[in-house]
């Protein structure tokens, strides 16, 4: 039986409180009673002090986000971010001249608490109200939903049959929340996780394509067109995610040398959302990161395309060494140079 999995229920609020947490719990129970599995409960607010205070008061099982920050605010909040239980943020570089200081923020996180790279991203032209961290950004109070729709592919037999199941699930959720105060909608992004039916790459290659062929076919474009046009109430990013180390089939392609940065960017420009959960060695050159960020900024602005960059590190592995993330969401691999 295919699983209906909600990756995230996210509340956006100007002033986070334990009442928001209680609302998240109530929404989770509502979905569970309707046959959904719920992975995470999340809360996004620009009120940094309130976010850190609430994070300290809770047990770390609620995912928090400061949303989109400029470089100065991000630097000013870094100590609190590194000490927090479960807080994410992103740095908006859409219009900012990118320097070694911006790359230095990533390398400082790697040096001081590498596990936090999982909760940090650079962003370019990303829309607000996406429930997916760390690219989320607050614009108004409300609630948004994000799915792990790949798991609906189990036994579907084709991409089209799988997408029809996805559509039915969107409309079911939309009907459930139609009367919910501040309901913002569903981020229809395809967020893969693990292997088997959770892998987007496996769904595509099960049609008979090898990865090299899939990249230069229209398979990902067909999925992308569907999720942008068929959702009943879209919010947020609404694109394909290619999280290199979270989609375990994709991680195997990376380790085999088949998912370099340029292939990732090619897929992102026509269907995806950027560089996500992509491994970086502790000895990678900061200048190389600046080169990549400058290119992604230029591409995002030229095509008005939301893109983000999330590099992840275990704080130890150098280029050519195997990672040890100690994170169930990330597959350990031998790290390649960027």
Mean pLDDT over 301-312 rounds to 97
Whether the predicted pLDDT of 154 surpasses 80 = yes
Place of tokens 């290199």: 244
pLDDT digits (tens, 9 = 90+) for 248-267: 999 999 999 999 999 999 99
Average pLDDT for the chain: 97
Secondary structure string (H, E, C) spanning 125-190: CCCCCCCCCCCCCCCCCEEEEEECHHHHHCCCCCHHHHHHHHHHHHHHHHHHHCCCCCEEEEECCE
- Cis, peptide link before residue 134, omega less than 30° from 0: yes
Cβ(281)–Cβ(274) under 8 Å? no
Whether the predicted pLDDT of 1 surpasses 80 = no
Cβ(309)–Cβ(121) under 8 Å? yes
Please give the pLDDT value at position 331: 98
Mean pLDDT over 316-333 rounds to 97
Quick one: pLDDT band at residue 2, thresholds 50, 70, 90?
A: confident
Terminal-to-terminal C-alpha distance of the chain: 40
Domain spans, the chain: 5-312
Q: 4 - beta bridge partners?
A: none
pLDDT digits (tens, 9 = 90+) for 136-152: 999 999 999 999 999 99
Distance CA 308, CA 191 (A): 14
Q: 275 - beta bridge partners?
A: 309
What percent of the chain is modeled with pLDDT above 70? 100
Quick one: pLDDT band at residue 128, thresholds 50, 70, 90?
A: very high
**Could you tell me the two tokens for 311?**
């590099």
Cβ(144)–Cβ(103) under 8 Å? no
Q: Provide the total of helices (H) and of strands (E) in the chain, helices listed first.
A: 12, 9
Distance CA 3, CA 35 (A): 9
SS3 content of the chain, % helix, strand, coil (to 5): 40, 20, 40
Place of tokens 């729709």: 149
Q: What is the DSSP string of 31-58?
A: HHHTT-EEEEEEEE-S-HHHHHHHHHHS
Q: Quick check: helix, strand or coil at residue 84?
A: coil
Phi, psi angle pair for 147, to nearest 5°: -110, 165
Quick one: pLDDT band at residue 231, thresholds 50, 70, 90?
A: very high
């Amino acid at each position: 039986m295919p699983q209906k999995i909600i990756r995230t229920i996210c509340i956006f609020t100007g002033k986070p409180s334990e009442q928001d947490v209680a609302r998240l719990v109530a929404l989770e129970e509502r979905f569970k009673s309707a046959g959904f599995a719920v992975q995470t409960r999340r809360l996004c607010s620009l009120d940094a002090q309130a976010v850190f205070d609430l994070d300290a008061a809770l047990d770390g099982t609620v995912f928090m986000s400061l949303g989109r920050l400029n470089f100065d605010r991000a630097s000013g909040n870094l100590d609190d971010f590194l000490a927090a239980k479960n807080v994410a943020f992103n740095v908006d570089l859409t219009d900012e001249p990118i320097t070694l200081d911006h790359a230095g923020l990533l390398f400082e996180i790697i040096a001081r608490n590498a596990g936090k790279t999982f909760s940090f991203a650079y962003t370019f032209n990303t829309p607000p109200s996406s429930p997916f961290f760390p690219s989320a950004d607050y614009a108004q109070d409300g609630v948004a939903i994000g799915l792990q729709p790949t798991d609906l592919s189990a036994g579907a037999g084709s991409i089209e049959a799988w997408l029809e199941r996805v559509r039915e699930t969107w409309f079911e959720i939309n009907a459930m929340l139609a009367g919910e105060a501040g309901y913002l909608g569903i981020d229809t992004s395809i967020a893969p996780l693990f292997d088997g039916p959770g892998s987007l790459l496996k769904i595509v290659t099960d049609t008979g394509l090898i990865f090299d062929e899939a990249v230069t076919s229209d398979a990902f474009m067909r999925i992308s067109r569907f999720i942008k046009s068929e959702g009943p109430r879209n919010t947020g990013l609404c694109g394909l995610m290619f999280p290199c180390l979270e989609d375990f089939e994709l991680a195997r392609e990376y380790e085999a040398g088949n998912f370099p940065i340029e292939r990732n960017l090619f897929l992102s420009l026509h269907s995806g959302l950027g560089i996500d959960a992509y491994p970086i060695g502790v000895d990678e050159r900061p200048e190389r990161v600046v080169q990549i960020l400058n290119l992604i900024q230029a591409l995002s602005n030229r095509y008005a395309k939301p893109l983000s960059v999330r590099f992840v590190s275990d704080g130890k592995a150098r280029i050519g060494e195997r990672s040890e993330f100690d994170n169930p969401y990330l597959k350990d691999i031998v790290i390649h140079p960027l």
